[in-house]
Structure 1
């Protein structure tokens, strides 16, 4: 089933926000306590680059944000789910990490709540491939570039058009497909390249995750110095 592109992108995003809020409420800590493989990689990349402050977009209940905090970074974890962030704060308190981590409820369709050139690194695991239009994704990456310092690093992951769920379920146009209640914007390689214009693109690494498995790219790019 396919809907007309652009019918109600704001309505879809708002519905997804409510869906994630309900999901975190029903399944606390749904992704477990261990950090994702991309977060482990990003922590090494950030450390090698001398980063100190890390902004995570779409932190959820915080397994990756907590990993960055344990590695000694000052972390700002954002998500549009207050429930997920409340779980993150509780876990950070239990683990004695509150001095290394702050949270902020934020919808990435809005400007980032940070001044220009204020962070060293940004991490986003499957955030850019949520129910965002191509225009909204471009605007978000422009915001990321604004808040990164010169030579700052962005590591993000996205599901791509080689994924088994691409073209399955309900189509919303703009390469967005909804399956099992979750809407995903599947990235073509051309979109990755377009988002890297004006950056230094250092890696587009393919990997699999989960039982399907999900097909993803891990992208690393740096702002000019």
Structure 2
């Protein structure tokens, strides 16, 4: 991406807007066709995050890109108060229904939100933020940096951010349809594959606690689990 592209307003980048809307519709259709598609068990990163959040004394967790809620529901079962956001109303409706069934609805709130927009929360209002593969969706580097800035804004001092991303060592990197800015679309899903220098730059002004490499799924997908803490 050129400097001119990075500085252009959203309305001047119709290709990005079209890709974002196409991905929104794709996820809506996917959740409708495959309710609870990721199952009921929490992801391994969520289990790790719950331990980290508890050790830090966190009580409130914001999950970005919660989908149908397997991880948000796990956090609620573990005793956290959870605010779950996603740009798919279909996924969040499945989350709310599961919360009622699991008797954790009192600890879970949901909100339809696109992370390209500012987070709908006041400054310094949450203890912890979790995002499993949300940041490596069809977001430009500029949008990713803006999102991390928003996470920093809403976290309380000492708060923890745990996120996972597919990286440039993944088998799908460079495969499928190139969308620019290290974004490739494969099987209808667009992924922004992270180089390590992007992870490091997103931790500027934070304490970078860990960058843990792991694999997930049948391909397998290759990811980093990143844990970083906001200074007090």
State the TM-score, normalizing by the size of structure 2: 0.94
Matches within 5 A, 1:93-104: 93-104=100-111
Q: Which of these residues, 216, 219, 222, is aligned with residue 223 of structure 2?
A: 216
Q: Which of these residues, 87, 94, 103, is aligned with residue 94 of structure 2?
A: 87
Q: Which of these residues, 66, 72, 86, is aligned with residue 73 of structure 2?
A: 66
Deviation at 1:10, TM superposition (A): 1.2
Q: Which residue of 1 aligns with 2:127?
A: 120
Q: Which residue of 1 aligns with 2:149?
A: 142
Q: Which residue of 2 aligns with 1:16?
A: 23
Q: Which residue of 1 aligns with 2:9?
A: none
Distance (Å, rounded) in 1 between the aligned partners of 2:105 and 2:215: 32
Q: Which residue of 1 aligns with 2:168?
A: 161
- Unaligned 5+ segments in structure 2 are 6-12
- Unaligned 5+ segments in structure 1 are none
The two structures, once aligned, show a CA RMSD in angstroms of 0.9
Distance (Å, rounded) in 2 between the aligned partners of 1:109 and 1:138: 10
**Residues 32-59 of structure 1: CA distance to partner in whole angstroms, max 9, x if unpaired?**
0000000000000000000000000000
Q: Which residue of 1 aligns with 2:48?
A: 41
Q: Which of these residues, 189, 199, 202, is aligned with residue 195 of structure 1?
A: 202
Distance (Å, rounded) in 2 between the aligned partners of 1:40 and 1:87: 21
Which has the higher relative contact order, 1 or 2, with Cα contacts under 8 A spaced 6 or more apart? 1
Deviation at 1:7, TM superposition (A): 6.4
Q: Which residue of 1 aligns with 2:159?
A: 152
Deviation at 1:75, TM superposition (A): 0.2
